[in-house]
């Protein structure tokens, strides 16, 4: 089955710019994270095999393997985000002429809202892992490509923030208070950690550029 990643970059931009509600913010955030991870992977590839970086090569190889797995996961989540949004729209279109229909619709909407919240939460979790790797790469990766490690970190944090905006738009209409409290607590924790990691990464990048 064809996915967004099978299209040209221009086609993705045109589709995202159109009246179609998908791909929306969650999918675009995932794509941004993929692009950031591609920079992290490039830094890894430019570090591996260099005599100067042989002491950190095992760690960098692990980062490369992790980056490739995270990219694969984000590709899946990009499509998942489109699917859950479409299911939410279908739930909203369910009939509500009778009390039974109203109850069935409400149950479907509430489930779809949670699904449409879980996917961007998972995108954000993957972005956080990408940030953790990028932050370390900023410190140990090939100095000639250290700016690209910074780009990876900035893109990952931006993607995380974008994904979590899609959480914010869904939670006000979810009625499960316990669920909302848990999600929002995790969201705030991720935002704080992401901001700290991005700051650390950029500080390392600037320091190594100067040095």
Report pLDDT for 3. 86
Determine the CATH number of domain 23-210.
1.20.120.680
Tell me the pTM: 0.95
Report pLDDT for 139. 97
Report pLDDT for 211. 80
- DSSP class per residue in 107-157: HHHHHHHHHHHHHHHHHHHHHHHHHHHHHHHHHHS-GGGHHHHHHHHHHHH
Neighbours of 52 (CB within 10 A): 9
CB distance 206 to 146 below 8 Å:
no
The three-class DSSP label of residue 174 is coil
Closest CA to 158 of 4, 69, 28: 28
Name the token pair of 198.
């991005």
Per-residue pLDDT 10s for the chain (211 aa) are 568 999 999 999 999 999 999 999 999 999 999 999 999 999 999 999 999 999 999 999 999 999 999 999 999 999 999 999 999 999 999 999 999 999 999 999 999 999 999 999 999 999 999 999 999 999 999 999 999 999 999 999 999 999 999 999 999 999 999 999 999 999 999 999 999 999 999 999 999 999 8
For the chain, count helices (H), then strands (E). 6, 0
Name the token pair of 17.
């710019």
Neighbours of 90 (CB within 10 A): 12
CB distance 30 to 78 below 8 Å:
yes
Cis peptide, bond prior to residue 50, ω within 30 of zero: no
């Amino acid at each position: 089955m064809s996915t967004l990643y099978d299209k040209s970059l221009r086609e993705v931009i045109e589709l995202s710019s159109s009246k179609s509600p998908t791909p929306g913010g969650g999918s675009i955030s995932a794509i941004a994270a993929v692009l950031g991870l591609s920079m992290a992977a490039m830094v890894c590839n430019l570090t591996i095999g260099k005599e100067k970086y042989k002491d950190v090569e095992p760690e960098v190889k692990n980062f490369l393997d992790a980056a490739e797995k995270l990219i694969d996961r984000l590709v899946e989540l990009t499509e998942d985000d489109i699917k859950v949004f479409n299911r939410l729209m279908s739930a909203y279109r369910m009939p509500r002429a009778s009390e039974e229909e109203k109850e069935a619709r409400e149950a479907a909407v509430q489930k779809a809202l949670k699904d449409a919240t879980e996917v961007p939460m998972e995108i954000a979790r993957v972005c956080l892992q990408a940030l953790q790797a990028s932050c370390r790469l900023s410190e140990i990766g090939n100095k000639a490509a250290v700016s690209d490690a910074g780009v990876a970190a900035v893109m990952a944090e931006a993607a995380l923030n974008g994904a979590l905006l899609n959480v914010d738009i869904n939670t006000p209409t979810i009625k499960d208070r316990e669920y909302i409290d848990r999600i929002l607590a995790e969201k705030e924790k991720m935002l704080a950690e992401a901001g700290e990691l991005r700051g650390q990464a950029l500080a390392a990048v600037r320091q190594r550029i100067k040095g």
